Amino acid sequence: MAMRAAILRHIRLPARAQTLAAAAAAAPRSWDRSPLGGSRAMSSHGDDHLAKEEVAERVLSVVKSFPKVDPATVTPDVHFQNDLGLDSLDNVEIVMALEEEFKLEIPDLEADKIDSCHLAIEYIYNHPMAG
Amino acid sequence: MSAASAVSTAGYLARRAAQKERVRILYRRALKDTLNWAVHRHLFYQDASDLRERFEANKRVEDLDTIDRLIADAEASYNKWRHPDPYIVPWAPGGSKFTRNPTPPSGIEIIYDYGREDND
């Protein structure tokens, strides 16, 4: 047993890669776009992540459509309260709008820290469930 | 500035910061709850604007103890009117897709050999 475990430890990675490649070559199926299966339609966990450009573009469009904001002044590294002349309650409203846009549920204490476009883009881009 | 007044200024600022954070989080929760209570989006806009006015009405209050009392009252009122069945994003705990996983793709299966392995 000990020897078997030692051998397995050494050949684990190459063997896995080989079987995956062999399986993909033998029978191309709908799920082998990614190792875990590309189409997991019923899954709560999406396997595809948003590109950073798309996140930035959608965050900016949300901020620009906020009624109290002049769309011309919005750039990716603008601070909501210092640069756009909003107050803290407007900040809360923007974060809530971003949550709805990306179908997220951000914990209160984390949402409270998001105060600029740059932070919002970073947070949403790194969030596994942003969609 | 004497040391005592510096300490009290720091204490004042710390207390103000804590109060501001409480108000922000209370507003956030109350706004979400407003959306939960509104059956349609166009009803939500008026309710949200009313909620905002209730917060704005006490914007200029200066006395710290009064502010604490106002926040406590508002939190009590929020807790009283909290929605019993709020909207939860599907993947989040309590959401409709939480821990609902699809069957694995065909070709990936469990072999029930009850702990025996091939070479044993």
Question: Is this prediction's ipTM beyond 0.90?
Answer: no
The superfamily in CATH containing domain A52-125 is ACP-like (1.10.1200.10)
For residue B23, give the chain A residue with the closest CA.
Answer: A89
Determine the 3-state secondary structure of B80 from DSSP.
Answer: helix
Q: Tokens standing for B80?
A: 């009283």
Residues of A designated as active site: 87
Residue, of B47 and B7, whose pLDDT is higher? B47
Residue A4, pLDDT score: 62
d(CA A61, CA A77): 14
On average, the pLDDT of chain B sits at 90
Residues of A in contact with B104 (CB under 8 A): 37
* pTM for the predicted model, two decimal places: 0.74
* Alpha-carbon distance B68 to nearest alpha carbon in chain A (angstroms): 18
Residue A95: closest CA among B40, B49, B31, B71: B31
d(CA B49, CA A89): 12
d(CA A106, CA B17): 21
Q: Do B28 and A112 touch (CB under 8 A)?
A: yes
Residue found under tokens 């603008």: A78
CA A131 vs. chain centroid, Å, equals 7
pLDDT band of A8, cuts 50, 70, 90 = low
Residue B120: closest CA among A11, A13, A3: A3
pLDDT band of A40, cuts 50, 70, 90 = low
Given a contact cutoff of 8 angstroms between Cβ atoms, the answer to whether A41 and B102 are in contact is: yes
Q: Do B52 and A89 touch (CB under 8 A)?
A: yes
Residues of B in contact with A4 (CB under 8 A): 119
Measured between CB atoms, does A127 come within 8 Å of chain B? no
Domain ranges of chain A: 2-33, 52-125
Q: What is the pLDDT of residues B61-120, one digit of tens each?
A: 999 999 999 999 999 999 999 999 999 999 899 999 888 887 778 888 777 777 676 665
pLDDT band of A47, cuts 50, 70, 90 = low
Residue, of A56 and A16, whose pLDDT is higher? A56
